[in-house]
Amino acid sequence: MTPMTQPVLALDRVTVSFPVYLGGSRSLKKRLLSQGSAGRIARDANDRVIVDALHEVSLALESGERLALIGANGAGKTTLLRVMAGIYEPVSGTVAVRGRISPMFDIGLGIDVDLSGYDNIRIRGMLLGLSSAQIEQCLPDIAEFTELGDYLEMPVRTYSSGMMLRLTFAVATCFEPEILLMDEWILAGDTHFMAKARARIDAFVEKASVLVLASHNLEVCRKWCNRGVWLQRGEIRAFGEIEDVIDDYSAASA
Partner 1 sequence: MSSAETTSASAGSRGSARHAQLAKAIADVREGAALWPLWGMLGWNDILQRYRRSLLGPLWLTASMAIMVVSLGVIYAQIFKIEIDDFMPFLCVGLLVWNFISLILGEAGTLFAGSASYIKQIRLPYSVYVFRFLWSKVIIFAHNFVIYFGILLYFRIWPGATAALALPAFALLVFNGACVSLYLGLVSARFRDVPQIVQSITQIVLFVTPIMWKPQLLTRYNFLMTFNPFYHLIEVVRAPLLGELPSWHNVVAVGLITAFNAALAGMIFARFRARISYWV
Query: Which residues sit at the interface with partner 1, rule CB under 8 A?
Result: 18-19, 26-29, 31, 82, 85-101, 103, 105-106, 109-110, 112, 114-115, 122-123, 126-127, 129, 131-132
Residue 96 or 188 having the CB closest to partner 1: 96
In degrees, rounded to 5, the angle at the alpha carbon of residue 9 between the alpha carbons of residues 6 and 12 is: 95
CB of 146 to partner 1, least distance (A): 21
CB of 5 to partner 1, least distance (A): 16
Spatial separation of the C-alpha atoms in residues 196 and 121, rounded to whole Å: 19
- Residue 59 host element (H or E): strand 49-61
CB of 210 to partner 1, least distance (A): 14
Please name every residue paired with 67 in a beta bridge, in sequence order, or none if there are none: 212, 227
Residue 71 or 103 having the CB closest to partner 1: 103
Residue 112 or 144 having the CB closest to partner 1: 112
Q: Which residues of 209-246 are buried (b: 16+ CB within 10 A; e: fewer)?
A: bbbbbbbeebeebeebbebbbbbbebebbbbeebeebb
Residue 154 or 218 having the CB closest to partner 1: 154
For β-strands 66-70 and 210-214, DSSP reports them as: parallel
CB of 29 to partner 1, least distance (A): 7
